[in-house]
Amino acid sequence: MLNGSPGILPGLPAAGWRRISKVTIAGERPGNRLQIRGTVMNNAQTVLVFGATGQQGGSVARALLHRGWQVRALVRDPFSAGAAALAARGAELVVGTFEDRAAMRSAMAGVDGVFSVQPSSPGGTVTDEQEVRYGITIADLAVECGVKHLVYSSGSATGETPTGVAHYDTKAEIERHIRRLPLAATIVRPATFMELLVMPGFGLDKGRFQFFMLPEGRMQVLAVEDIGHLVASVFAAPARFAGKTFEIASDSVTGRQLEVLFSAAAGRPIPYSRFSDEVLAASPFLHKLTGLVDDGRLAGHADLDALRQLHPQLHTFAGWLAGPGRPAFERALTSGARWAFDR
């Protein structure tokens, strides 16, 4: 619980509070807000962003703020570094969690749009059942609160046919629920993140790289930064995108192209190979994901030309690796950590 009279919250930089008007405290009555000095741009539309201190939500929040939208962010800890960064950019913080329906309802009051993304079981923080419950609750509250446009972030392999991979099939269940509601909604299905390719555990520290596709096989990839720009474009054109479901990606790469790019970036040969049969036999999770690449569902089918019309500055993988991805790539070259999401 935060105490004290209205003013700048202690522990957060004063410089970023010009556009912040209020913070909702979880556990208080809905609508009971602690007022923070500043003014609100009343002529801009407001979007509530879930997961705003994470990868996808953070990207969306930054892109919307950059375009002049008002952003409201549900955060667990308003004193965290991620929340402080959002506040410094002008976001309105609402304190609460996915388990707190009253806090989410309060956060949703009066907003024009909602960006919905939930943690999933590979991260180790929630169960599959919790992910589904969170996604359904947000959609139901959007209807209850009269939200004009919901954008839900699903997954590229998600569809009507079960994948056998729980964290994709959970998203299919949420998608089906959203489509049954009297709600203007858009569902985006992000491709594999570029950031995943430079996580430790794929062999870069041993001078090689292993991944899901065959050497000549192709996968679409997505820079996390591009998610925000694409979703912001969707929010800007609700009449065009309401009722639509589509995949989003930034670029596509083959295993051979990764070999060339990683070798050039490292200054030494980094040969590419698919996960070995032994690795796949020992990991049912990796084996299932590899099968989804082989049958095309995880390889990606985004219309890259159409997406470039929405955001002409979509990253190529080569440009991303040379720029924002470079620090993570260099860390992966020396880190012997293992990929732990074997769920």
List, for residues 104-151, the tens digit of each pLDDT value: 999 999 999 999 999 888 877 889 999 999 999 999 999 999 999 999
- State the DSSP code for 94: E
Q: Cα–Cα distance between 61 and 327 in angstroms, integer? A: 23
- Convert the pLDDT of each residue in 205-252 to its tens digit: 999 999 999 999 999 999 999 999 999 999 999 999 999 999 999 999
79: burial class by Cβ within 10 Å (0-12, 13-18, 19+)?
A: middle
**Per-residue pLDDT averaged across 288-307, rounded?**
96
Identify the burial level of 43 via C-beta atoms within 10 angstroms of its C-beta, where 0-12 means exposed, 13-18 middle and 19 or more buried.
exposed
Distance, in Å, from the CA atom of 88 to the CA atom of 178, rounded to the nearest integer, reads 33
Tell me the residue type at 102. Answer: A
- Which neighbouring-strand residues pair with 246? 188
Band (pLDDT 50/70/90 cuts) for residue 340 is low
Tell me what pLDDT residue 14 has: 30
pLDDT of residue 120: 86
pLDDT higher than 50, residue 34: no
Q: Per-residue pLDDT for 339 more than 80?
A: no
Tell me the average pLDDT of the chain: 88
Q: What is the mean pLDDT of residues 2-19?
A: 30
Please give the single-letter amino acid code of residue 269: P
3-state secondary structure of 105: helix
Q: What residues have CB less than 8 Å from 43, skipping those under 6 apart? A: none
pLDDT at 197 over 90: yes
Q: How far is the C-alpha of 113 from the C-alpha of 136, rounded, in Å?
A: 16
Write down the pTM of the prediction: 0.87
- Specify the pairing of strand 185-190 against strand 245-248: parallel
